[in-house]
A and B are shown apart, each in its own frame.
Chain A
Amino acid sequence: MTTLIELEGITKVLKGQEQPRTILDGVGLTVDAGQSVAIVGRSGSGKSTLLSVIGLFDRPDSGSYRLDGQEIARLPERRAAKLRSSHFGFVFQRFFLLKHLTAAQNVAMALVNGQGWQPRRQRKARVMEALDQVGIAHLAKNRPARMSGGEQQRVAIARALVRNPRILLADEPTGALDTETGTLVIDALLSATHRGCGLILVTHDRDHAARMGRIHDLVDGVLSERVMVR
């Protein structure tokens, strides 16, 4: 199994306040290709900050972060943007679909990002393939306003999948959905792991967390793996 992500001793301190607050305290995490990992914890425990560090939105203050064996903890922004495009797919609690674009155009947004250029026909084929993977190819021409929450989140997942990412980062993707729809969304995310994509899911939902291969608890910035008994 190929190791995709290796975090060791990652620390992130929130400065600019009277007293600096440690958000991540020596976090270590390994994610292999095709593996799914759930990170659970209370609000404010640092889950989203950890996802920001993994997704190269933010830099750790200390520690080591290796992606495909390459140290990337201190990467300049331009290379970080390139890696975000080539390696990561992001799904957020709020779907962040642009309301003036159709589902297909929202998905294509990840392809029209200045990181390489694909001809229109090729782009369209990729977009339709991604929408098909999440089962909503028939909604390609619909605008977000005409879609349900579950459909919108699946468009967001298609957007995350369209570049064939190595790792999917999902920050409470079912937070705004009912249980049934949430299950469908988790299904869509897990199906990506069958194709060798790593998945890190931040969630409050125990049932969804239980469907992941591993569960990690984040408590006061400290990450620990929960022993799962199936």
Chain B
Amino acid sequence: MRRLSGRFRSSMIIGIQGIRARKLRTLLSMISLFLGVLAVVVVQAGASIAERALLADLELQAGYDGTRVMDVPTQQSAADAVVSTVKGRSDAVAMLGVSGIVGEPGVLPVNPNAAPIDQDWGSAVVCDQNGCQEASGTKGQAVEVRLTALTGDVRQFRPFRLESGRWLDFSTVPSMAPKLVLNQEAAKAFDRYRVPAEMRVGGAAANVTPQFVGVVDDGDYQPRAYVRIDELTTWLPTSKLADPNTGGELRLMMSPGSPVEQVLSAKLKALGNEVYVNTVESRKEQEKQLSLMRLIFFAMAGLVLLIGVAGILNVGLATVGERVEEFALRRAVGTPRSLLAGIVLAETLLTGLFTAAAAIGVSIAALKVVTMVVGNSQPLLRDVQFPWEAGVAGIIAGLIAGILGGFIPALRAAGIPIATVMRA
């Protein structure tokens, strides 16, 4: 081990001396390799940034990887069981959804069925035990939203991005005027139809006036508003939150291994409900989408890198040809062949590393410039950091190019006959 360490240090010292002695050649090698390593860094950085963006979107909609999601059929008894089980727990959050209309009293919403604000999903329909029928009335300054009541902070499972205002505070006393956090689509709708007035929810004891406290990006294309369940149930019985006639939704998000899953499954089964539990696997989903694209780009980057390797090889062979006497002399003073090969490899490896450092530096600077210039208009590039994977890929590409480009010159150097110095 000590001998190896001595040889490693020797090859590094001599390699650095060689690089310093032939700065121009080293620079030429670096230039030929630069584009190849840069291509690898850019492809890896691009793939990582795209992967993160995709993953962030998937997480926004589906939740963090590993989160257990239980979908419960909307039955009134089920809603009571769910809320009573998860109340006060931090490892599970229930999301109960109903339809709500916010705006001018007594009018039909501008977006019946909580359609996205610029889409037409047909006319408003009212359902009860006897069936569904088209709602009558005139359209006015009101917006229909999916109203999601939360038993706790759901952001531990779904990373909503706060766009403005603040998120719901679950630690305070519930307000009589429910505080709503809108998603972007709902915020867009209320930006156009600014009517204070009231919130109408089927089955509520009264139409209350809500308070808008913030806007989040939740990845949903339908207008949606989030509310603390205890602020809503002041006016609306829990059972009404899971009324199939009001388009109810009932979903539970849990940490992996949470006992809530077992307890609630048993309770719901006892009530005659079938539950569906699955695990969020966002990363797996997006890997499928990205793997082929990444492969194609890496193949292209690999080709560019190969051209760079050919450049290093060319310069390396020329340099060894010039240094025949030096290598023969080194052998004469006892340097083993393996160390001679190591010296050449050390030089090409260091050249590869310097090139990788330069390529990474340029990529970081370019990314900074791009985010500064177009970051505001391109959400994908906003606050994006240079991915460390791209740095590692660049260093690996530099090292591989150094090894490939230095291998043949190293063999040549090791094979130089020692008698060269005697015949000179």
Contacts and interface: CB of A to CB of B under 8 A. Distances in A.
A132 to B, nearest CB: 20
Nearest to B420: A57
A33 to B, nearest CB: 20
A55 B332 contact: yes
B161 interface: no
A90 B419 CA distance: 12
A224 interface: no
Contacts of B81: none
Contacts of A226: none
B203 interface: no
Given A52-B422, A101-B17, A114 B332 contact: no
A92 B9 contact: no
Contact of B334 (A48, A81, A100, A101): A81
A57 B333 contact: no
B173 interface: no
Interface-central residue, B10, B331, B421, B424, by most chain A CB under 10 Å: B421
Nearest to B422: A48
A48 to B, nearest CB: 5
B422 to A, nearest CB: 5
A105 interface: yes
A77 interface: yes
A113 B339 contact: yes
B21 A100 contact: yes
Interface stretch (B217-225, B322-330, B353-361): B322-330
Contacts of B331: 81, 84
Given A114-B10, A159-B333, A57 B419 contact: yes
Interface in B8-61: 9-11, 13-14, 17, 20-22
A195 interface: no
Interface string B315-355: 00000000001100111111111110010000000000000
Contact of B333 (A52, A77, A84, A117): A84
Given A57-B418, A92-B421, A82 B334 contact: yes
Contacts of B14: 112
Contacts of B421: 90, 92, 96
A12 to B, nearest CB: 12
A96 B20 contact: no
Contacts of A58: 418-419
B7 interface: yes
Contacts of B122: none
Contacts of A82: 334, 336
Interface string A81-94: 11111101010101
Chain A contact residues (Cβ within 8 angstroms of B): what range? 20 to 34
B178 to A, nearest CB: 74
B333 A90 contact: yes
B333 A85 contact: yes
Interface string A32-54: 00000000000000001001100
B339 A77 contact: no
A98 interface: yes
Contacts of A101: 17, 21
Chain B contact residues (Cβ within 8 angstroms of A): what range? 20 to 34
B414 to A, nearest CB: 10
Given A112-B13, A113-B339, A114-B10, A90 B332 contact: yes
Contacts of A48: 422-423
A230 interface: no
A20 interface: no
Interface string B115-150: 000000000000000000000000000000000000
Contact of B332 (A57, A100, A117): A57
B330 A113 contact: yes
Interface in A98-133: 98, 100-101, 105, 109-110, 112-117
A100 B419 contact: no
B422 A117 contact: no
Nearest to A105: B17
Contacts of B20: 100
A112 B10 contact: yes
A43 B10 CA distance: 38
A92 B325 CA distance: 12
Nearest to B12: A112
B6 A117 contact: yes
Given A77-B337, A81-B335, A114-B6, A96 B329 contact: yes
Contacts of B7: 114
Contact of A52 (B22, B329, B419): B419
Interface of B: 2-3, 5-7, 9-11, 13-14, 17, 20-22, 325-326, 329-339, 342, 418-419, 421-424
Q: Which 3 A-B pairs have the closest CB atoms?
A: A85-B334, A100-B21, A117-B6
25 contacts: A48-B422, A55-B332, A57-B418, A57-B422, A78-B336, A81-B331, A81-B336, A81-B337, A83-B334, A84-B332, A84-B333, A84-B334, A85-B333, A90-B332, A90-B333, A96-B325, A100-B17, A105-B17, A112-B10, A112-B13, A113-B333, A114-B335, A114-B338, A114-B339, A115-B6
